[in-house]
A and B are shown apart, each in its own frame.
Chain A
Amino acid sequence: MFPMLAIMVTVTGYPLLSTIRLSFTDASLVGNAPMSWVGLENYIYAFTDPDFRDAFFRSLYFAFVSVGVEVILGVLVALLLNQEFFGRPFVRALVVLPWALPTIVNAMMWRLIFNPEFGSWNALLTQLHLIDAYRSWLGDPATVMNMVILADVWKNYPLVTLIVLAALQIIPPELYQAAAIDGAGAWRQFWKITFPEILGPLSVALMLRMIDAFKVFDIIYVMTRGGPADATKTVSFYVYQESFSYLRAGSGAAYAVLVGLVCGILIGLYLMILRRQEHS
């Protein structure tokens, strides 16, 4: 156990504390300018900074919409894959494919698909006569976030599907037979039997996705770099810019601590759910 703890303390425990310490200073990322303590100044600035507030709500929007769609779609696909049909093993294996693609490849792939001049998304929608003219899907602040969410959902809903499907497969079929005898229809059977049985694993999947979605960075960086006009600038991207573009380590650290606190709440919830499941 000791080597593991030693590594974790050096490479996560120590930096975490350093970040908190930095957040009370006016440190710069480069150069040898002496740093001084500024107390709560960075935090006061962060709380009154409208740009950071916007980034915060953007992250929330991204997390709630993408995870919401992923959960609904994930459960629906899991229910589908639990039905009997020809070729089921093949389709079950296929669903893993988007999840297996590297995040960056996924982002790059959708960036090319949404290309305003030559992208296949424009070509498809035009040839199906759904739109009249090519659009700049990632260049329009009104549509860009939802297009990034589409790319994220395509890759990540299989996580929910796989976890829920595993839970569906261990529900005893007698439960459904008994309910059918009692005259319960498919809708009632879902809410009375299926849903309670998958609720535990589903909430684990939901929290994992939520934590990941709130700190989203990779897909944003490759698809939009936070643009256009900051329309996809999420909190992680904000901290990245503050620290590594503007080199303001002190205030970057303060923003990072705030982002960490929000994630900390989500993580606490996740661990609680997990512990309850281990006990049952």
Chain B
Amino acid sequence: MRRRRLVPTLLIYAAVAALVISTLAPIFWLFIMSISSTEDLTTLPLRWLPSHADFSNYARLMSLASHSIGEEFLYALRNSLAVSLSATAIALLAGIPAAYSFSRFRGRMGLLYAVLGTYMLPPVAFILPLYMAFSALHLLNTIGALVIVYCTILLPFVTWLLKTNFDAVPIEIEQAARLDGAGLIGVIRHVTLPIAAAAMGTAALFAMLLAWDEFFYALLYTNDIRAKTLPVAIGDFAAGRAIDYSLISAVGVLASLPPVFIAFVLQKSLVVGLAHGGVKG
């Protein structure tokens, strides 16, 4: 009996070990590259650990000297933060009332599906007219243009996620509050929204993840430090001729910290967001 259970247990642990190694190895390597000198990374055969840990790349990125890579990085960081936060705020402001009305008036589901369907269409279906419009309005290479475009990604997602959560708030609770003399707005503010607060937090964090990750529109509609976001800056660094592997790796590590942090905060509610289409790839 014992021997029959030993083999499956060993298999499970072997599979877990393989899973942990294959997950961590590339990420560890990215971090090791970021603290290695170029000489360490270009010796053959490759030495896996650097001769000494060198954090100077991170220091270089914290510089605002003009035309330095640090300046490019810090501006991109600022732009990414500004775009993600503003687009998320607008998406919540417009999405909460929309989600509420979709949840309470069932006859409008067709409209919701239409909105969802449109937003899942590939960006290539929208890029040309938007480019022409932004160009005519002198909005190319501005943070504002990206905020507008990102709203179209975040808004349907936020609306849909919140609608499912409003559905779970029993209408009887609202009716009871109405009978106690509260107005519709009062009911929504003091009864429904507090119950759905956790879901709104989830929606906001997910929205920020989506905006932080977006690359295609940012690539097309921005071209210098005034509006370039982190993904575009990283794309530029990675394709540059004089490639400084350790420096790009340091940028990658820093750009990953906020989304990794958010993902761990979201851990419990991650699945709900994923099933609602909270994916970018």
Contact = CB atoms under 8 A, between A and B. Distances in A.
Contacts of B133: 15
Contacts of A271: 113, 116-117
Interface stretch (B14-22, B168-176, B183-191): B14-22
A14 B152 CA distance: 12
A213 interface: yes
Interface stretch (A110-118, A176-184, A188-196): A110-118
Contact of B26 (A14, A110, A267): A110
B152 A8 contact: yes
B26 A211 contact: no
A187 interface: no
Contacts of B33: 112
Nearest to B262: A100
Nearest to A23: B128
A109 B274 contact: no
A105 interface: yes
Interface stretch (A41-49, A139-147, A253-261): A253-261
B contact patch SS: helix
Interface stretch (B50-58, B62-70, B195-203, B233-241): B233-241
Nearest to B273: A162
Nearest to A240: B124
Interface in B144-187: 148-149, 151-152, 155-156, 159
B125 A162 contact: no
B58 to A, nearest CB: 16
B101 to A, nearest CB: 4
A1 B128 contact: no
Given A1-B98, A118-B245, A11 B127 contact: no
Contacts of B132: 18, 29, 249
Nearest to A115: B245
B27 to A, nearest CB: 7
A98 B23 contact: yes
A19 B123 CA distance: 11
Interface string B219-240: 1100000000011001101110
Contacts of A93: 264, 267
A36 interface: no
A contact patch SS: helix
A189 to B, nearest CB: 14
A152 B26 CA distance: 13
B255 A102 contact: yes
B45 A127 contact: yes
Interface string A92-114: 01111111111111011111110
B161 to A, nearest CB: 13
B213 A102 contact: yes
A109 B26 contact: yes
Given A18-B128, A94-B23, A208-B279, A105 B220 contact: no
A8 B129 contact: no
Interface string A110-149: 1111010110100100110000000000000000000000
A260 B281 contact: no
A204 interface: yes
Contacts of A252: 128
Interface in A143-169: 152, 154-156, 159, 162-163, 165-166
B57 to A, nearest CB: 14
A4 B97 contact: yes
A218 interface: yes
B19 A16 contact: no
Nearest to B220: A244
Nearest to B260: A100
B118 A8 contact: yes
Given A105-B30, A115-B245, A236-B216, 15 more contacts: A4-B98, A7-B94, A7-B155, A80-B12, A101-B259, A102-B213, A104-B213, A104-B230, A108-B238, A118-B245, A120-B48, A156-B281, A212-B280, A236-B122, A275-B113
4 closest residue pairs by CB, A with B: A18-B129, A100-B263, A4-B98, A123-B46
Interface of A: 1, 3-5, 7-8, 11-16, 18-19, 22, 29, 77, 80, 83, 85, 87, 91, 93-105, 107-113, 115, 117-118, 120, 123, 126-127, 152, 154-156, 159, 162-163, 165-166, 201, 204-205, 208-209, 211-219, 221-222, 225, 235-236, 239-240, 243-244, 249, 252-253, 255-257, 259-260, 263-264, 267-268, 270-271, 275
24 contacts: A7-B152, A11-B151, A12-B119, A15-B130, A18-B129, A19-B128, A80-B12, A80-B19, A91-B16, A95-B23, A101-B260, A103-B215, A104-B231, A109-B249, A113-B26, A162-B274, A211-B120, A219-B281, A240-B124, A249-B128, A259-B124, A264-B121, A267-B120, A270-B120
